[in-house]
């Protein structure tokens, strides 16, 4: 089998923490190039790829140049949300003009910051006629994939389809300033993380043999709040943490979001996803997933792994993330995830993308799925702003930009009601 030459554009946290390590479990692919505006990041990532045995990549600071590299067959877009459309345009233009020969392109979550940008992304990839993958790692989590298989095969076949998926991802807050800046990121915690839960729930509620678009979203309701990071103490901490870049006393974004989405199945039954997320959950990264059917149930809690360690108050040392992503303590009885790359689905996600491109097939998660997730996220913001359940798609979705992204949202909005 031919090997796939992969190029990464954006070599920051997610690439260095997860993606290049995940490539150790991917066959038939080599990381041939890495590109970052910061040359030293591209160089250190390239050196790490070599150390890990996943490639000996060339380094670039210009993505158009990387796209023209004949050793690069597919590009992984892992730049921040605000740089998505410009980077996708640069890559697809090279392909359209015949200067780059690519088979595929993948993009990190969320596909875009709003519906207008998501549709631009879809338009570009269509014009360039590229296979495209959307990096939603949770639908590749081995526990989720196995749980879905067991429940649908044994439970749904005798008792009927599942009707409720409860999904959440939470942690104590992101690592880089741009995530906290809703105009650059697209929103707050809801935009950043509920995208995962939306897609994990849709995956669980869709039968294995059903087509991807089998569930039609019919109604969306949501609420957002700032419970921790706009209080005076944490406004100060956030300012300090972001070296003065972020001031939540002036331009806050939500650190908590919850939503429910009602879907209609092909046989006109209604099923529900109940979703929540936050940047104000202290213990560390936690993905919590449940699927409920008439006579069966499934539960995944990544902070309840098989291993826990204990350190007494006498043990002191450096702060770190050696037990679990975004851990907030080093003492006491603590959960440990020895292989987060696999547990969170990164390894299987990259393997699937590579294998799909080598076989000339569209992956199971595409930019079309990513665009639907953006439509649902924006509907959530719209519902939260109006404090109202909305039919999907709501009027005005195409041009909608959340108040948080415009800098006009106020945490007090959460106590506004429609019945005053």
Ligand X SMILES: NC(=O)c1ccc[n+]([C@@H]2O[C@H](COP(=O)([O-])OP(=O)(O)OC[C@H]3O[C@@H](n4cnc5c(N)ncnc54)[C@H](O)[C@@H]3O)[C@@H](O)[C@H]2O)c1
Instruction: List interacting residues with ligand X (CB under 6 A).
Output: 9-15, 35-38, 41, 63, 78-81, 83, 87, 108-109, 135, 137, 176
The 3-class SS string of 280-344 reads CCCCCCEEEEEEEECCEEEEEECCCCCEEEEECCCCCCCCCCCCCCCCCCCCEEEEECCCHHHHC
Q: Which residue number, 11 or 226, has a Cβ lying nearer to ligand X?
A: 11
Alpha carbons within 13 angstroms on the beta-carbon side of residue 119 total: 7
Q: Which residue number, 255 or 413, has a Cβ lying nearer to ligand X?
A: 255
Q: Which residue number, 81 or 356, has a Cβ lying nearer to ligand X?
A: 81
Q: Using CB positions, name the residue nearest to ligand X.
A: 12
Q: Which residue number, 83 or 164, has a Cβ lying nearer to ligand X?
A: 83
Do the beta carbons of residue 236 and residue 386 sit within 8 Å? no
In the sheet that holds 164-170, the strands lie side by side as 296-301, 286-293, 164-170, 270-278, 256-264, 216-225, 390-391
Structural element, H or E, at residue 167: strand 164-170
Q: Minimal distance in Å, beta carbon 315 to ligand X?
A: 30
Q: Minimal distance in Å, beta carbon 61 to ligand X?
A: 7
**Rounded to 5°, angle at Cα 230 from 226 and 235:** 150
Q: Minimal distance in Å, beta carbon 14 to ligand X?
A: 4
Phi, psi torsion values for 390, nearest 5 degrees: -120, 145
Q: Which residue number, 22 or 204, has a Cβ lying nearer to ligand X?
A: 22
Q: Which residue number, 107 or 219, has a Cβ lying nearer to ligand X?
A: 107
Burial letters 289-300, b for 16+ CB under 10 A, else e:
bbbbbeebebeb
Cα–Cα distance, 240 to 232 (Å, whole number): 13
Long-range CB contacts for residues 59-65, cutoff 8 Å, separation at least 24: 59/33, 59/34, 59/35, 60/33, 60/34, 60/35, 61/35, 61/36, 61/37, 62/35, 63/9, 63/35, 63/87, 63/90, 63/91, 64/90, 64/91, 64/93, 64/94, 65/35
Q: Minimal distance in Å, beta carbon 390 to ligand X?
A: 25
Q: Minimal distance in Å, beta carbon 81 to ligand X?
A: 5
Neighbours of 121 (CB within 10 A): 25
Q: Minimal distance in Å, beta carbon 82 to ligand X?
A: 8
Q: Which residue number, 12 or 162, has a Cβ lying nearer to ligand X?
A: 12
Q: Which residue number, 11 or 143, has a Cβ lying nearer to ligand X?
A: 11
Among candidate residues 79, 22, 99, the one with its CA nearest the CA of residue 55: 22
Do the beta carbons of residue 372 and residue 348 sit within 8 Å? no
Q: Which residue number, 292 or 323, has a Cβ lying nearer to ligand X?
A: 323
Q: Minimal distance in Å, beta carbon 377 to ligand X?
A: 12
Rg (CA), the chain: 21
Q: Which residue number, 151 or 401, has a Cβ lying nearer to ligand X?
A: 401
Q: Compute CA 143 distance to the chain's CA centroid, rounded to the nearest angstrom.
A: 17
Do the beta carbons of residue 328 and residue 239 sit within 8 Å? no
Q: Where are the beta strands (DSSP E) in 13-116?
A: 29-35, 58-60, 74-77, 104-108
């Amino acid at each position: 089998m031919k090997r796939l030459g992969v190029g990464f554009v954006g070599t920051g946290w997610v690439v260095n923490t997860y993606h290049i390590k995940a490539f150790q479990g991917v066959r038939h692919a080599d990381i041939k190039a890495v590109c970052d505006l910061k040359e030293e990041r591209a160089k250190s990532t390239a050196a790490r790829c070599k150390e890990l045995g996943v490639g000996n990549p060339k380094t670039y600071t210009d993505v158009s140049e990387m796209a023209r590299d004949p050793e690069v067959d597919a590009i992984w877009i892992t730049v921040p949300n605000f740089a998505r459309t410009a980077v996708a345009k640069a890559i697809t233009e090279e392909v359209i003009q015949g200067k780059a020969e690519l088979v595929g392109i993948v993009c990190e979550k969320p596909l875009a910051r709003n519906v207008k940008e998501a549709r631009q992304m879809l338009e570009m990839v269509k014009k360039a006629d590229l296979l495209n993958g959307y990096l939603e790692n949770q639908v590749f989590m081995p526990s989720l994939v196995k749980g879905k298989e067991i429940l649908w095969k044994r439970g749904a076949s005798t008792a009927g389809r599942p009707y409720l998926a409860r999904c959440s991802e939470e942690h104590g807050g992101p690592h880089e300033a741009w995530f906290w800046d809703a105009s650059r990121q697209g929103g707050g915690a809801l935009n950043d993380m509920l995208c995962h839960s939306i897609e994990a729930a849709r995956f669980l509620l869709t039968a294995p043999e059903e087509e991807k678009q089998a569930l039609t979203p019919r109604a969306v309701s949501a609420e957002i709040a700032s419970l921790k990071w706009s209080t005076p103490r944490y406004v100060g901490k956030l300012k300090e943490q972001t070296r003065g870049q972020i001031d939540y006393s002036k331009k806050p974004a939500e650190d908590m979001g919850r939503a429910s989405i009602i879907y209609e199945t092909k046989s006109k039954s209604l099923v529900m996803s109940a979703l929540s997320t936050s940047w104000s959950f202290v213990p560390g990264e936690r993905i919590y997933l449940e699927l409920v059917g008439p006579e069966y149930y499934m539960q995944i809690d990544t902070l309840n792994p098989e291993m826990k360690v204990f350190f007494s108050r006498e043990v002191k040392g450096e702060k770190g993330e050696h037990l679990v992503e975004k851990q907030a303590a080093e003492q006491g009885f603590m959960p440990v995830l020895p292989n987060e790359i696999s547990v969170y689905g990164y390894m299987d996600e990259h393997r699937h993308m590579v294998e799909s491109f080598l076989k000339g097939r569209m992956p199971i998660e595409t930019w079309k799925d990513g665009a639907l997730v953006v439509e649902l996220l924006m509907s959530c913001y719209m519902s939260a702003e109006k404090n109202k359940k909305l039919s999907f798609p709501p009027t005005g979705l195409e041009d909608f930009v959340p108040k948080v992204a415009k800098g006009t949202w106020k945490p007090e909005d959460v106590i506004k009601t429609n019945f005053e």
